[in-house]
Structure 1
Amino acid sequence: MSPLAPEVVDEKAQTNAISEQQSSVQSEAPYSVVPEREKIFLMLLCSFAALISPLAGSIYFPAIVAIADDLDVSIAKINLTITMYLIFQGLAPSVVASLSDTYGRRPPYIACFMIFLGANIGLAVQDSYPALMVLRCLQSSGSSGTVALGSATVADLATRAERGKYIAYASMGITLGPALGPVIGGLLSHFLGWRAIFWFLVIFSGVFGAFLLVFLPETCRAVVGNGSVPPPVWNRSLWQIARSTVWRSSSRTQRPEPAHETIHTRRKRRNPLIAGAMVARDAEAALILIFGGLLFSGYMAVMSTLAPELESRFGFNSIQIGLCYLPFGVGSLTSRFTLGRLLDLNFRREAKRQNLPIEKNKQQDLTNFNIEIARLTITIPFVYASCAFLVAYGWVLQARTSLAAIVIFLFLSGHTATAAFSSLNTLVVDINPETPATAVAANNLFRCLLGAGAVAVAKPLIDRIGIGWAATFVAGLLVVFSPCLWAVYLRGYRWRRGRRERRERLEQAKGNAAKAMTPGETSKAA
């Protein structure tokens, strides 16, 4: 057994006990006291804060050829900067998420934007490949944490039964990044040069970071509970501080009575990276994370190789290449509306079938509810559809038959692949309700590390066997590993109940041992 195993078991037993205590005292308190309009505003705010990560990644694609020529390096070396970007995109959120689950969402948000701002200034003025590589890693570290923080904010504000309804709001920025990034990057690179891309990101992050500093409140349930508990002064927005100072006696600032029992007990982690990896110790979570990573790898293989393929096969310039990325991004954006409705409808259908009562603004207890079936019934068809569209895209591009056909299959691939991945991301949060940001960070860790490998091998693979066979290989790999999802669909609920029963037995044994100890032994153990 690993030296970490006893610590992990004790921590999970503690988590389970805390969860049981909190669920009992929170039965009367609403899950969130934040009004509906304010919820939507906060989710949109966090969604557009998360925009910087996919935007910084995709805005780079149309300028790959121009950067390689200007720095006098090969396209393969520029693709290596994409690989490193993805590696740090996987590692950094583990640190950010673990801290945010304990100390709040707001301080990590501000830190991420400051790091991102400084990295973009450096990228705009650097003139060497080593500097480009290092600063891209720093840029990724600053931007990637915002994705995990955005998903965690949704978990802070919305119950599982409502989460699908808010997906369109919460993920709008993440899906706009791949849609708008290549178009903006293509226009800036063509008319102003590739350095203008990074100056644009400097302006965007500076303005939006200032907006977060002024208006973003704290939502972490370890700090403010269901939103009724005032956060510490250092965790408040400038708007909250100004409002409480200037209009202290105004009735408009009155809040509900603080429900301190809704605060989640803070748990310190010794190592944030291990905290993210701990999520994958359970078989159910590991299978979801592995397949989600493979799905994202196929997505990154398409995105990173599209620019050189279009340039070599059609002779397109950076503007035309950027426009060709647009259908994929639009497909990703529209998938959120389709998926959100389907997830909520299927959740309600399964809740009725499994006799789970749904109460508005109350978190559902999933102890006796098969959430795996509720989510994967929607996910699995999207997975197989994305494989079919990916194969069609690869062979149409290789045959150079029609640009319209390429655009259509890019849209369909973006729609189905993004829907499948978002649904898996939702399921990971559902089965890790106490640490949503850490769960998303673990998901990010798997997908980015696997995606980095896919980017590294995509171009050599395409050069060797062609884009058609490469797309077929990626789709075939997803089909071969799809039994991972079927295993979770069929056995995930049973695994989750088994873990809960083992934790209960462990907690009971520890309680019996504590009762059997003499007073002297108890004081010594303490």
Structure 2
Amino acid sequence: LAAWGGFFSPLSANIYFPALTDLAREYNVSSTLMNLTLTSYMIFQGLAPTIFGDIADMAGRRPAYIIGFIIYIGANIGLALQNSYAALFVLRCVQSTGSSATIALGNGVVADVATSSERGTWMGYVTSGPMIAPAIAPIIGGLLSEFLGWRAIFWFLVIMAGVYMVPLLVVFPETGRNVVGNGRIPPQKFNMSLLSYLKVRKTAKAYGDDELSRAVSRDEQQALARQRKLRIPNPLGTLKVIAQKDAGLLLFYNSVVYTAFYTVISSAPYLFEEIYGFNDLQVGLAFIPFGVGAMIAPMTAGKLMDWNYRRLAKKCGLHIDKKRGDDLKDFPLEKARLYVAIPMLVIGTLVTLCYGWILHVEPSLAAPLVMHFFLGLCLTGAFNCMSVMLVDYYPLSPATATAANNLVRCFMGAGGTALITMMIDAMGRGWCFTFIAGAIAVFSPIILVLIRWGPKWRDERRLKMEAHANGSG
């Protein structure tokens, strides 16, 4: 369900691509103005999780999911009914606000239920939803736009979100450690799924309230109750993550790579229509190789990270405890995660460079589609490695950490999306993507800096947090 929930944010972004040219013609606006609807979506994709991530780490995962999907369904109904560019622009912001927190929430669920030794594979499972979306969303969008009109895209999203809400309300359990501890402590009644509520009620009837109370530690209940005190969500918590040396560098570099990734897919509809004369459906089908590569990447990167973790653990003499987690104080986590990212980044950078010059000479369609596959595979795999590393930095507040990731990368990606068509017009296709590949290469030494000094910075933060906890205790 966490993977399915994370499906909606990239689904809403990518399903929209094949209809961009139709919408530009209907509202009589330029492609640059239509790209601003992508830019605004990404800005709110970065802002919204800073609030929802804090809600999730404070009150639990389920309330954040439910509030987000209520907003999302309302925005899609509005988008299906609107008749102006201004309404489209504003409602895309609201749509992004409702859906964009789901990826951060999914990463939070992984941190709740998985130890460091298994986190790579679990992150692969949860991010499989967001990565499947680029494979199928443009196809769905192309079919709906071509045969039913662009409004059908948003009605489809309303139906999809409504269907998702059923299992979310009925079976999805609360996993937040601040709410349920290690799973032994029942959440508040309003925060229970229907199945969890019926189970607790059945247990209370069978054994009596006293027996149920003794099943959990009173001290743990009281401690978690203090942490569950609701307050106004504080988006500034994400800025504290960005201010850290290791997390800040990782977030910046991840954002550079993400911007390169998004400039490729956001410019593809215009480039393919210009070069090959594609209609909406053909543009959607052209995204299949990119989406397939992106779909394979999370599981591939996840398995490789877990293998590398076990290899380094054996080398360091660390016993892996899958139940209680491992003592990572002296473990080279940066090597376990980022060694896997390096070859993917090298290949992804070279493919980005080649992609621009392939488009420059306008060859057969096969060439750019092959480049799309490798871009989806390598850049998405690198994202996954860096996202797992970020969760490892902040295992107790993973949703907030992931929200910081979304904030930085979406802001930079929004800038790239707004500028890409103007850059292509001014520089030409080849030199434009050469510039983008060069930006990735120039900042790549950040990975080596993190491998070299990251363990020291991580240990300094751990000591500060321990000192703060002891002082407040």
1:276·1:439 contact (CA, 8 Å) conserved in 2? yes
Specify which of 282, 297, 306 is matched with residue 320 of structure 1: 282
Counterparts of 1:339 and 1:375, CA distance in 2: 9
Amino acid at match of 1:321: V
Q: Offset at 1:354?
A: 1.9
Which amino acid in 2 is paired with 1:84? Answer: S
Which deviations, in whole Å up to 9, do the C-alpha atoms of 1:220-252 show, x marking residues without a partner?
Answer: 00000111111111110122223444686679x
Q: Check whether the contact 1:160–1:364 (CA below 8 A) recurs between aligned residues.
A: yes
User: Distance between the aligned counterparts of 2:166 and 2:322, measured in 1?
Assistant: 35
Q: 2:131, 2:216 → 1: CA distance?
A: 36
Deviation of the 1:171 alpha carbon: 1.3
Identity over aligned pairs, percent: 43
* Alignment correspondent of 2:48: 92
Deviations 1:319-347 (A, max 9, x none): 11001111111101101221111000100
Aligned-partner SS, 1:272: coil
User: Counterparts in 2 of 1:262-411, with a 5 A limit?
Assistant: 266=227, 272-411=234-373
| Matched residue SS, 2:37 | helix
Task: Choose from 88, 101, 109 the match for 2:57.
Answer: 101
**Cα shift at 1:499:** 3.3
Asked if structure 2 preserves the Cα contact closer than 8 Å seen for 1:292 and 1:447, the reply is yes
CA distance in 2, matches of 1:269, 1:463: 49
In structure 1, distance between residues paired with 2:340 and 2:38: 31
Taking the aligned partners of 2:403 and 2:252, their CA distance within structure 1 comes to: 14
Structure 1 CA distance for aligned equivalents of residues 58 and 461 of structure 2: 24
Residues 65-96 of structure 1, C-alpha deviations (whole Å, 9 max, x = no match): 00111111111111001000000000000100
Any residues of structure 2 matched to 1:156-195 within 5 Å, and which? Answer: 156-195=112-151
Q: Which residue number corresponds to residue 131 of structure 1?
A: 87
Cα shift readout 1:141-196 (whole Å, capped 9, x = no counterpart): 00001111011001101001011222332112101111111110001000011111
TM-score, normalised by the number of residues in structure 1: 0.84
Checking the alignment, whether the CA contact within 8 Å between 2:394 and 2:401 is kept in structure 1 is yes
Equivalent position of 1:442 in the other structure: 404
Asked whether the equivalents of residues 269 and 275 of structure 1 are also in contact (C-alpha less than 8 Å), the reply is no
C-alpha distance in 1, partners of 2:333/2:307? 13
**2:219 corresponds to 1:258:** no
Q: How high is the TM-score relative to the length of structure 2?
A: 0.94
Q: Given the superposition, is the C-alpha separation of residues 289 and 244 from structure 1 closer, same or farther in structure 2, using an over 3 Å criterion?
A: same
Pick the aligned partner of 2:99 from 143, 149, 161: 143
Q: Distance in 1 between matches of 2:37 and 2:330?
A: 46
CA contact (8 A) 1:396 1:402 kept: no
Aligned partners of 2:46 and 2:408 also within 8 Å: yes
**Against the structure 1 CA distance between its residues 235 and 269, is the aligned structure 2 distance closer, same or farther, given a 3 Å change threshold?**
closer
- Report if aligned partners of 2:351, 2:371 keep a CA contact under 8 Å in 1: yes
Letter in 2 for 1:346: N
Give the match's secondary structure for 1:171: helix
Structure 2: runs of 5+ lacking an equivalent: none
What is the aligned length?
465
Aligned counterparts of 2:428 and 2:258: Cα–Cα separation in 1: 21
Backbone CA RMSD of aligned residues:
2.2
Structure 1: which 5+ runs fail to align? 1-44, 515-526
- Measured in 1, the distance between the counterparts of 2:75 and 2:184 equals 37
Structure 2: which amino acid aligns with 1:258? V
Q: Report the CA distance between 1:355 and its aligned residue.
A: 2.2
**1:365 Cα deviation from its structure 2 partner:** 2.1
Q: CA deviation at 1:504?
A: 5.6
Letter paired with 2:264:
V
Query: Per-residue deviation at 1:112?
Result: 0.6
Cα distance change of structure 1 residues 346 and 480 upon mapping to structure 2, 3 Å threshold: same
What letter matches 1:86 in structure 2? Answer: M
> 1:270 Cα deviation (Å)?
6.7
What is the deviation of 1:485? 1.2
- The residue number in structure 1 matching 2:383 is 421
Distance 1:500 1:123 in 2: 46
Structure 2 residue matching 1:273: 3-state secondary structure: coil
- Once the two structures are TM-superposed, the CA of residue 57 in structure 1 deviates from its matched residue by 0.3
After superposition, what is the alpha-carbon deviation per residue over 1:287-318, rounded to whole angstroms, capped at 9, x for unaligned?
00000111110111011100000001100111
What is the SS of the residue equivalent to 1:79? helix
Structure possessing the higher radius of gyration over alpha carbons:
1
